[in-house]
A and B are shown apart, each in its own frame.
Chain A
């Protein structure tokens, strides 16, 4: 059982470049979310989705877009990368709104 799979594991971008961080889960979870982890700040919610076709903003959504065309996939797009987006990004999913979150292993992104 793969759980929550994130790709790539590492990425380096130049300022202004765009890219998509991939997240897929094979547990038929309805709820998916993206967090970023920065030193001394814990994890902060970027965007989340309660089901296919439904997305909403979290605490720090600026500079990021998401879509949820299928239950399994929840990609995170950076349209024009900035150095402030250097971080470790975690995707998470849960069966329902009151179930524990399961996390992927993260994508470490550096923007120069």
Chain B
């Protein structure tokens, strides 16, 4: 089946930029998503990108998609302590009814 991989941990200093990376295997993916999970909470949709785009910017968030390398990244500018959370990358395959495949999540720790 599809495989989505992320590194498990990332630490950055407050005010720096964070870059969270994700690789996936399904070349027919239609949408790729970034979700944020705070402790004890559900998953909050941060942003998503359609597979025919290579970049999307939304305030402090920038998503880059390299479809050739099947690589997705999320850049958070001016990282704040409130950004500390687990970030999940997910892909939606072309077949199937919105059945997302998730990475293991990257735990972002922001150091004051």
Contacts and interface: CB of A to CB of B under 8 A. Distances in A.
B100 A45 contact: yes
Interface string B54-92: 000000000000000000000000000000000010101
A83 B4 CA distance: 27
Contact of B105 (A4, A42, A102): A42
Contacts of B103: 42
Interface in A1-44: 4, 31, 33, 35, 40-44
Interface residues of A, number: 29
Contact of A58 (B30, B43, B99): B99
Interface string A72-109: 00000000000000000010101011111111111000
Which size class do B's interface residues fall under?
Answer: 20 to 34
A99 B42 contact: no
Given A43-B88, A100-B33, A100-B45, A33 B99 contact: yes
Contact of B42 (A41, A48, A50, A104): A104
Given A42-B88, A42-B103, A97 B42 contact: no
Contacts of A92: 43
B15 to A, nearest CB: 29
Interface string A41-82: 111110010100000101100000000000000000000000
B97 A97 contact: yes
A94 B42 contact: no
Contacts of B40: 105
A31 B33 CA distance: 17
B98 A31 contact: yes
A4 B27 CA distance: 31
B43 A94 contact: no
30 contacts: A31-B97, A31-B98, A33-B98, A33-B99, A40-B8, A41-B104, A42-B103, A43-B43, A44-B102, A45-B100, A45-B101, A48-B97, A48-B98, A48-B99, A50-B97, A59-B1, A90-B42, A94-B98, A97-B97, A97-B98, A98-B92, A99-B98, A100-B48, A101-B43, A103-B35, A103-B42, A104-B42, A105-B40, A106-B41, A106-B42
